[in-house]
Amino acid sequence: MAKTPKSSPSKSAKVKANRARRRALRLVRRLAVQSEKAERSERHAGIRQAPRAGKPRTRRASRR
């Protein structure tokens, strides 16, 4: 026989508070990672754009 659908029990205040806390912490962590990534990519771009000391690069270095 098929089971009849049951409604889930109502959420307690404690459960709601914990979920909200976790959500807020996740948001903070996500923003931190996002800013870290942006900073890192900026740093790497800066390294690549800096002029080379000595002779200018005429050929690409071997990939091996």
* Residues 16-31 pLDDT 10s: 999 999 999 999 999 9
DSSP E strands in the chain: the ranges are none
Distance CA 61, CA 64 (A): 9
- The answer to whether residue 3 scores a pLDDT higher than 90 is no
* Residues 38-60 pLDDT 10s: 998 888 776 665 566 666 666 66
Percent of the chain exceeding pLDDT 70 equals: 70
7, two tokens: 């409604």
Phi/psi of residue 54, nearest 5 degrees: 90, -145
